[in-house]
Chains A and B, each alone.
Chain A
Amino acid sequence: MKLKKTFTAALMATTAIGGAAAAQTELALWYHGAGNEVEGKIINQIIDEFNASQSDYKVMIESFPQLSYNDSVVAAALAGNLPCILDTDGPNMPNWAWSGYMQPLPIDEAEFANFLPGTKGIYDGKLYSIGLWDAAVALYARQSTLDELGLRTPTLAEPWTGEEFMAALDAAKASGKYDYALDLGMNDQGEWYPYAFSPFLQSFGGDIVDRSAYQTAEGALNGDAALEFGAWWQKLFAEGYAPGTSEDPADQQTGFIDGSFAFQWNGNWRAVATMAEVDDVLFLPAPDFGNGNTIGAGSWQFGVTTSCAAPDGATAFIEYALQDKYLAAFSDALGLIPSTASAAQMTENYKEGGPLAVFYDLSAEQALVRPVTPGYVVEAKVFIKALADIANGADVADTLDAAVDEIDADIEANGGYGH
């Protein structure tokens, strides 16, 4: 079956080339950023310049809204309509690779030695996808807030401990100047949850799944550390430190800038916009709850599909797009962390002494990718629901137990996901 497909694809490719001598091979590229003008402008510029730089291939972009992007890809995969070059959110890649819809990149991994670890999509020992940027999360705060509340400024080397963090929230709450001491973005019940909140769980000593073999979540998601995390998590909402799941998205978007939140746990993609409004904004590292501090890693990356008739062309495009000048352009426009140190030096924010330079070090040192397993797609959904339920007052132990049961049942139903 597969052989036949490859054969037909090869046949189609050869006829395409033979039919119109020296004509360009068209490569479809699917992108997640529909509706984001700035992002669209840069990606279109890369494509135009790539198409102009050679005459063998012509990349055609199709943009999708991020919310429904994964659904579109899965539907297309079932219908056999995948494009050649696929944009994929880091943690989803193993699922698509395992399902046979993506192929390893035929690029020597050594070429990416100077790339941030979170930008490399490695599954089963092979490089499947590579990103133009990584993202990081930080605790947004104002210098004036810290001064007023008499708080120490945490650093990478010496972050706040769990107690210091809660003391800071208490101080903010007691000051009576804020609607909420902390905003976590709870209204965005999607990939944001595992990306932004699983590092807290890891800092307590738990995890979404036991990474030693990826066969169970027992002990990792409902062990003592996880229960402790759950109790702390519930307290944030029960005692009014942070707004819950029904928070209005518009309030969330502007809350920190308006001064209704003292602190905000937010991604660096909002950093540029926030700096424009808040002069003394600080980006603080995650608190350490005892087991070290990590932040999520692995953002959107490019890969090549199995059905691609011209993987060489697709690879050529990806390599072209990975030039430092494009990494820098994305970073300047969106505040994302460029994948290489050399590109970082070309940017406004990440060059040495730049206002966001701390993010580069943060990402290089603390980044931990989400569980690298095909089962992650389901595990993430279960994790999202568990955290939302606990925030809404569900019993911590029962909720985490149920999450473990669901994850384990799914792993079993999928024959261990090939680990």
Chain B
Amino acid sequence: MASKLTTSNRAGWGFALPGFALIATFIILPFFLAFLFSLTNQRLISPNPTEFIGLKNYRDLLSVAVLTIEPERDAAGEIVRDDAGEIQYPRVRTITRSGDFPQYKGMREWFRWQSGDDAKVVIAKDVVFMKALRNTLIFVLFIVPLQGGGALLLALLINQKLRGINIFRTVYFMPVVISIVVVSLLWRFIYDGNDGLLNNILNALSFGLFEPVDWLGNTDTALGSIIAMSAWQAVGFHMVIWLSGLQTISPTFYEVAAIEGASKWQTFRFVTWPGLRNTAVLVLIVITMQAFALFAQIDVMTNGGPLDATQTLVFQTVERGYGKQDISGGSTISVILFLIVLAISLVQRYLTRERD
């Protein structure tokens, strides 16, 4: 094979060349540029020369520290409590903004917990990035089973010989064909806090008992709303992949299973699922990688809000690189994202390898 590729195949290389050139220009080159930029202070537009600044961008993103804050005490040494009995602590800003602790300059509270009377406060240099990282991981964690499982279920449903089955196939696949921007805009109306479709339906179903929820304006529901909508939007795409996998399984296996008297579940467990092995690996990896790239829904529906509840890594990359003209900052996030996705893909490859 190798010799065939390298020697007498000029026409083949000729045909491949435009594709290679495009991939090199728009994927491979920017990929290396991102590495390079992340070590500099490169701006989008600026008359200042670009300088090499080492790992400063990474430090600015990833620096985290834990502070132990003692409660406030009154003149008698008693712990000060508010009316509800909660222990009062001095504000974090008295530490991060004082000249006494230059190592904490520019950091702010990410989250805290109580240990005894003291409060342990985790402060981070870039809280928005940390929240974006957390949200992205949560999104991936939920979207993979939701989208992969939902798509498999739909694929099993439409893999039957029924009248008009093509109508169902088309309907399920439709959201994939519509632009994600349009879908996001529509779902913004559906999630509307006042008279959105979702609130109206829930209200009607519960005979008026349901209190309208501002789905995208509430920190508790915003990310969940985005997850549900994203799962719905792309489920049809993976359904088609599952379907193609289902149709490669030879009908004779099913016949054998039927003759042996296998139940529906047994047929699925021992005939269908093993036959879908390779498809499953593909679907898993594709969904994971797509999920990490979550951007358009955020950009159209929430802008990362409310209170950073829907910040994501790619949204922050664009926001910094383009909006704030900080190409080096954006590049740094994309390098970190690349390392995360690479690590997860390798783990997935390892876990789903052929075991024999």
Partner of B91 from the list A98, A393, A397 (CB cut-off 8 Å) is: A397
A residues bordering B, Cβ < 8 Å? 71, 74, 77-78, 95-96, 98-101, 189, 244-246, 248, 251, 377-378, 381, 388-389, 392-394, 397-398, 401-402, 405, 409-410, 413-415, 418
Write out the residue numbers on chain B whose beta carbons fall within 8 Å of the beta carbon of A410. 324, 326
CA distance A418 to B44 in the complex (A): 16
B residues 202-246 near A (Cβ < 8 Å) are 214, 216-217, 219
CA distance A244 to B218 in the complex (A): 11
- CB B43 to nearest CB in A, in angstroms, measures 7
Interface residue tally on B, bucketed by range = 35 or more
Q: In the complex, are the beta carbons of B93 and A393 less than 8 A apart?
A: no
Known interface pairs A392-B307, A394-B307, A402-B127. Does A100 touch B47 (Cβ–Cβ under 8 Å)?
yes
Q: In the complex, are the beta carbons of B45 and A74 less than 8 A apart?
A: yes
Q: In the complex, are the beta carbons of A413 and B47 less than 8 A apart?
A: no
Q: In the complex, are the beta carbons of A248 and B109 less than 8 A apart?
A: no
CA distance A414 to B326 in the complex (A): 10
- CB B323 to nearest CB in A, in angstroms, measures 5
Known interface pairs A377-B325, A414-B46. Does A251 touch B194 (Cβ–Cβ under 8 Å)?
yes
CA distance A245 to B303 in the complex (A): 10
Write out the residue numbers on chain A whose beta carbons fall within 8 Å of the beta carbon of B303. 189, 388
Write out the residue numbers on chain A whose beta carbons fall within 8 Å of the beta carbon of B306. 244-246, 388-389, 392
Q: What are 28 sample pairs from A and B whose C-beta atoms fall under 8 A apart?
A: A74-B322, A95-B45, A95-B325, A96-B45, A98-B46, A189-B303, A245-B217, A246-B216, A246-B306, A248-B189, A248-B192, A248-B194, A251-B194, A377-B325, A381-B323, A388-B303, A388-B305, A392-B307, A393-B307, A398-B92, A398-B93, A398-B108, A398-B109, A401-B93, A402-B108, A405-B106, A405-B108, A418-B47
Q: Looking at chain A's contact residues, is the secondary structure mostly helix, strand, loop, or mixed? A: helix
- CB B135 to nearest CB in A, in angstroms, measures 15
CA distance A378 to B322 in the complex (A): 10
1/0 per residue, CB under 8 A from A, across B278-316: the answer is 000000000000000000000000010111100000000
Q: In the complex, are the beta carbons of B47 and A98 less than 8 A apart?
A: yes
Interface status of B349 (Cβ within 8 A of chain A)? no
CA distance A244 to B214 in the complex (A): 10
Write out the residue numbers on chain A whose beta carbons fall within 8 Å of the beta carbon of B47. 98-100, 418
Write out the residue numbers on chain B whose beta carbons fall within 8 Å of the beta carbon of A397. 91, 93
Q: In the complex, are the beta carbons of B108 and A413 less than 8 A apart?
A: no
Interface centre among A394, A413, A414 (most CB of B within 10 A): A413
